[in-house]
Amino acid sequence: MIYSDLILNERNWDNLLTAFRTGRLHHALLFHGPSGTGKSAHAIELAATLNCKDSTSSNPCGLCPSCKKVRSFQHGNVRLVLPFPRKTNLDKSSPSIKALTDADLTSLQEQMKTMGMKPYFKIALNNANTILINSIRDLKNELYLSPPDAGGRIVLILDAEYLCIPNATSANALLKILEEPPEKTYFILVTSRSDLMLETILSRCQKIYFPALPEDAIESFLVDEGESPLDAHLIARLSEGNMHLARNFQGMVPQLYENVKTILNAVFTKQPDLWIKFHKEVSRLKQSGRIEMDYFFRTGIFAFRDLLFLAETGNTENVVFVDNLQKYQSVLEKFPQSNWAECIQLMEDALSFIRANGYLPLVINAMLMDMGKVLKGDEVKRFSLQY
Ligand SMILES: [Zn+2]
């Protein structure tokens, strides 16, 4: 295999191998499902399988010259298409690479190198917000002008939903190619947002679903990477089957506990300085990027899930933030009337409002005040933030 540490989806993999060996591999495949489940890595493994020189094993050997070229994205039969920054002054006949600055190009090369080594690495270029029509034109020129080398050619389209963003021009151009596929050429469209894709594209593809990874698989992956078993367990719980998230949380456990502390302190006290700390942290995170803010809220949501679970079952086994058990117990004693499910909902609502550019101080204040009511067992009017 190309990746020794890929958590293989055995069912999908066996089906793909069987289809390939029996000459029934569909020329357009859609690898879809939640983020961080190894869809791109499975596509790269398939590209290697089609071209591996070692015929003794059914999986790609990972060692022959062909496999090595697939790993470093230097194989003539493997073509990568991915979102680029939109450039309004890009000439119709210009190659798509012209949309990249020198810095983008260097970054892309480095990221491709990393992707060849790490199965759950995701390539992300700054401001990449569309799959350019120029990228599809480049592809068309190459595919129809030169036949593939021996083996089979794989066109790997990452974040394929960007074919349809901001409009469907690229998707329609690709559709024409899919309708008349060049020989021995296989397209793999990878997406975690197939809901954003054109039905005409989807209906051309054989759909292969990659579900969220099992928690225990993520946990042992992280332990193999050197994370302590306790931290690996916490991160695996928090990531909900998404290895991209898990990798982002690696080495961050102390920070995650700190997040929970900031959130719970603001919720359970009425001290102005703790509210201000919460405000400051959220606005800092909002400025540093949406994903950081999402992580912050996610930790809070999991802390409330802990409380909900403890309140309902008294069982400590499934608690995520185990170091907080003592604090949880005292909170549960102090607020026996609280509706913890409602607290979770209030946090989720607040996060959506902030994402939608709601006025931050107002959203946070409303959330904290509503939570104060919920803790005492009072009802709050949901969606009261829709102002
Ligand atoms: Zn090989």
Residues with CB under 5 A from ligand 1 (ion): 52, 54, 60-61, 64, 67
Q: What is the pLDDT of residues 95-105, one digit of tens each?
A: 999 999 999 99
Residue 291 confidence (pLDDT): 80
Residue 387 confidence (pLDDT): 41
Residue 60 confidence (pLDDT): 96
Burial class (CB in 10 A: 0-12, 13-18, 19+), 220: middle
Residue 349 confidence (pLDDT): 93
Choices 3.40.50.300, 3.30.365.10, 3.30.710.10, 2.30.130.10: CATH for 10-211 = 3.40.50.300
Mean pLDDT of 206-226: 97
Centre of ligand 1 to C-alpha 73, Å, is 14
Centre of ligand 1 to C-alpha 110, Å, is 23
Centre of ligand 1 to C-alpha 83, Å, is 29
- Per-residue confidence at 258, pLDDT binned at 50, 70, 90? very high
Pairwise CA distance, residues 225 & 78, whole Å: 29
- Residue % of the chain over a pLDDT of 90: 83
- Per-residue confidence at 220, pLDDT binned at 50, 70, 90? very high
pLDDT exceeds 90 at position 300:
yes
Centre of ligand 1 to C-alpha 45, Å, is 10
Pairwise CA distance, residues 293 & 288, whole Å: 8
Contact 39, 210 (CB under 8 A): yes
157: which strand partners? 81, 189
Longest distance between any two alpha carbons in the chain, whole Å: 73
Q: Which residue type does 87 have? A: K
30: which strand partners? 189, 207
Centre of ligand 1 to C-alpha 27, Å, is 22
Centre of ligand 1 to C-alpha 106, Å, is 28
Pairwise CA distance, residues 277 & 115, whole Å: 38
Residue 261 confidence (pLDDT): 94
Mean pLDDT of 246-250: 92
In the numeric block, the tokens 């997406």 are attached to 191
Distance of CA 67 to the CA centre of its chain: 26
Plot region of 119 (φ>0 → left; ψ -120 to 50 → alpha; else → beta): alpha
- Per-residue confidence at 76, pLDDT binned at 50, 70, 90? very high
Centre of ligand 1 to C-alpha 124, Å, is 28
Residue spans per domain, the chain = 10-211, 252-386
Q: What is the pLDDT of residues 318-337, one digit of tens each?
A: 899 999 999 999 999 999 99
Contact 183, 77 (CB under 8 A): no
